[in-house]
Amino acid sequence: MSDGPAFHNHFSAEVATLIQAHVIQMQAPRPPRPMEVPRAPEHWVGREALLQEVERHLAGRDRFPVLVTGDTGTGKSALAAKIAERAAGAFPDGQLYIDLENEDVLSSTRSTLMRLGIPKDQLSETFGGLLSQFRTATRDQSMLVVLDGVDDAAEGLHFTPSSASSALAVFALRSGGGEEARHFALSDLDRESAMLLLCRQSRGPEGPMPKGTLTALLDQFGTRPGTLRRLAGLIRARRAAAPASFDPDLRDLLEHPPADLLDATYRTLSDSASWLYRLLSVLPGPEFERSILKVLRTPAHDGDSAFAELVNAQLVTPTRDGSYLVEPSVTRDAIRRIELEPLPVYLVAAMEKSLRWYVKRAQLADRAVMGERLRRADLIADVDCPPFEDRAEALAWLQANHAALHAAIRMAVLHAWNGEAWALAEAMWAFYVNVPYPEEAERVYEAGVAATNRPADRARMLLFLGRVRLDLGEYESAEAALDESRAIAAAERDTELIGSATELLGRSKHWQGRHAEAIALYEASLEHARDGGHARAAAIQLMYLGRAHRDAGDAERAADYLERALAAFTAIEDGRHVLLVEADLTVLRARLGVPGAVEGADLVIGWLRQAGLSRFEADAQERLAAIAEGPERRRRLEAALEVHERIGSAQARRIRRELA
């Protein structure tokens, strides 16, 4: 092929400026110093010696991991929060808090890496690769990593940071592994400390309880911190219910078995507080924002005073600014109880209101994260929610609440609130397209598909489902969802959906090496994009067509499509895609023997590296290695291997074999 004007070998000033601007934009500052550990408990007694010993090991020269084990209710989470509070100044790069009680290790590792600033498209496909990336991300940091809600302490050791100035503390039910770790067992409090804790947690204006009463209560209920907290909550609730007649001699409490303390507290609450407590106990997740109380107010129930009553009874606990936690044992089986027990009509109605609050909040987060995009569901108008200040705040909210939002969809499906179910699923695309939870996303969009009533809405949910299944490598089921989506969109004359489904079908064929089919689908999608006047979508199809022709072995047609894609992305000032297409073009020029093309490719590879586009950097090095020989080929493969190892890619093993 001749080196004609249609296949240039230079960067125009406009292209170079766009690429450099994009590189600068991608070199974003590190995320803010994380301080993620929940608030430390207000009352703290009886653990000072253990606390100092743990602190000593965390601050020691060797900084071996600290493993703290104990039964439920012995105070592991309180100890974790207290350690983090006191050690804040010792770790200038902050504190990471990873809670495995409601999330699996793989998902937690992905979300932790993203909080450390690793982009979604750079995350490894394998758990081992993710751990490698975690070690890389913590290499030059001085931070405290706290693992809570762990079943076996050995799970937490995966998160050992690589820096000698960082530390790991794991709080688990059982001890396992970690020969070099420092092990501590957390048990119930001694009696003197338990008396002091109960007095502090339950103290009122009438002064401390008689010592005889304290002794009798500890004989009955034991000295476990979790049980004492519930007992103190019952005492506070009784005092609030009848302050004038409250008797500090509480021996009548001895008639309650320990397991009955929560029910006894509930029976002490006012009608408004008990109503609010029942509703909060069946929210999708145990943590909630206080602003949700606005939708729960009724003439018969004063939400503010009822909420204050729950906080006083320690059935609701503040965790961070504006957020609260419902007593964990109450919410642990909330979904199961909803499935098994019919709820009163008034409670179901209030629950629907709270669900609509979650939908509206997620819709606002979606708009803050994604800006203008195609949406089928209208923004809920009859619910008042606080807005998000920026994209980062909205994405962080989705990250913190994604499990609760998934549960909310299940709750909506269970009650046949189908409009809310699929509207919430649609809004959650802003999360799943940015954070890799493909297994959860598949379940969400399967529920979304089942909840839709209108054909166009079903087509939209099927589109999301097909995209997620492509990420999972489930090509057959992905294509089934996308074929159905495209057929419905065609019947509805929705050209934008037709184009999107066609493009995704093209990607499926392309990823399977079925290039002729992929090219035909990309061509059809390009036509839909042009007919609809969607310049960016058309440019993306041109890029995909160039890559498909390249992979099919037709370099000349590939070059033509890539040049057209480059011009289209330049026209709309899409710096990221200008850089990616320029990388494709420079490597293709080198393959065709265009003079100076290898040097141009190396320049673009440097830009890819600066922008953090590691996978594309490695791909470019491998394609250059394919046309090189001898030491130059080996150098290129070693450069690609270095990138794959840096990001923990499973492709590293393949390249090692090739080098050997």
Regarding whether 143 and 26 lie in a shared domain, the answer is no
Does pLDDT of 64 surpass 50? yes
Regarding whether 205 and 179 lie in a shared domain, the answer is no
Highest average pLDDT, of 25-34, 289-298, 367-376, 454-463, comes from 454-463
* Total-model pTM: 0.80
| Angle separating helix axes 271-281 and 303-312, nearest 10 degrees | 80
Instruction: Name the domain count of the chain.
Output: 3
Cβ count within 10 A of residue 173? 15
Does pLDDT of 259 surpass 50? yes
Q: How far apart are CA 352 and CA 341, in angstroms?
A: 17
The distance from CA 368 to its chain's CA centroid, rounded to whole angstroms, is 16
Per-residue burial over 619-653, b = 16 or more CB atoms within 10 Å of its CB, e = otherwise: bbbbbbbeebeeeebeebbebbbebbbbbbbebbe
- Residue 336 has a pLDDT of 46
Regarding whether 128 and 252 lie in a shared domain, the answer is no
Regarding whether 13 and 64 lie in a shared domain, the answer is no
Q: How far apart are CA 448 and CA 433, in angstroms?
A: 16
- Out of 268, 288, 306, a domain closes at 268
Q: Is residue 318 part of a domain?
A: no
- Residue 300 has a pLDDT of 58
Phi, psi of 58, deg, nearest 5: -65, -30
Report pLDDT digits (tens) over 474-532: 999 999 999 999 999 999 998 888 999 999 999 999 999 999 999 999 999 999 999 88
Average pLDDT of span 164-176: 86
Amino acid at 655: I
Contact 428, 399 (CB under 8 A): no
SS (H, E, C) 535-582: HHHHHHHHHHHHHHHHHCCCHHHHHHHHHHHHHHHHHCCCHHHHHHHH
Query: What single DSSP character describes residue 30?
Result: P
Q: Which residues pair with 168 in a beta bridge?
A: 145
Q: Is residue 26 part of a domain?
A: yes
Q: Is residue 433 part of a domain?
A: no
Regarding whether 86 and 154 lie in a shared domain, the answer is yes
- Out of 186, 211, 236, a domain closes at 186
- Residue 20 has a pLDDT of 54
407, 388, 412: which is closest to 284 by C-alpha?
407
Q: Is residue 84 part of a domain?
A: yes
Regarding whether 243 and 179 lie in a shared domain, the answer is no
Confidence of residue 16 (pLDDT cuts 50, 70, 90): low
- Residue 472 has a pLDDT of 87
Regarding whether 20 and 72 lie in a shared domain, the answer is no
Q: How many helices (H) and strands (E) does the chain have?
A: 30, 8
Say which residue, 342 or 112, is predicted with more confidence. Answer: 112
In the block, tokens 């089919």 appear at 517
Regarding whether 162 and 64 lie in a shared domain, the answer is yes
Locate all alpha helices (DSSP H) within 316-437, ordered by sequence.
328-331, 334-340, 345-370, 391-414, 418-427, 429-432
Q: How far apart are CA 199 and CA 209, in angstroms?
A: 7
Handedness of CA 550, 552, 556, 561 (dihedral sign): negative
- Residue 33 has a pLDDT of 65
Regarding whether 53 and 141 lie in a shared domain, the answer is yes
Q: Is residue 309 part of a domain?
A: no
Q: Strand order of the sheet with strand 323-326?
A: 287-289, 323-326, 316-320
> Measured between alpha carbons, how far is residue 433 from residues 80, 154, 278, 472 in Å?
33, 32, 35, 13
- Which range of residues forms the domain containing residue 156? 48-186
Q: What percent of the chain shows pLDDT beyond 90? A: 28
Q: How far apart are CA 521 and CA 530, in angstroms?
A: 14
Regarding whether 226 and 131 lie in a shared domain, the answer is no
Phi, psi of 51, deg, nearest 5: -60, -45
- Out of 147, 164, 186, a domain closes at 186
Regarding whether 56 and 7 lie in a shared domain, the answer is no
Q: How far apart are CA 457 and CA 571, in angstroms?
A: 33
Q: Which residues contact 389 (CB under 8 A, 6 or more apart)?
A: none
Q: Which residues pair with 293 in a beta bridge?
A: none
Contact 373, 497 (CB under 8 A): no
Q: Is residue 337 part of a domain?
A: no
Q: Is residue 237 part of a domain?
A: yes
SS3 assignment, position 649? coil
Confidence of residue 27 (pLDDT cuts 50, 70, 90): very low
Q: How far apart are CA 119 and CA 647, in angstroms?
A: 11
Residue 13 tokens read as 């000033």
Report pLDDT digits (tens) over 195-238: 888 888 887 765 667 788 888 888 888 899 988 888 888 888 88
Confidence of residue 28 (pLDDT cuts 50, 70, 90): very low
Q: How far apart are CA 74 and CA 79, in angstroms?
A: 9
CB-side neighbour CA atoms (13 Å) of 617: 24
- Residue 332 has a pLDDT of 44
Contact 598, 606 (CB under 8 A): no
Locate all alpha helices (DSSP H) within 124-244, ordered by sequence.
127-137, 153-156, 191-202, 211-221, 225-241
Q: Is residue 475 part of a domain?
A: no
CATH number at residue 71: 3.40.50.300
Regarding whether 60 and 179 lie in a shared domain, the answer is yes
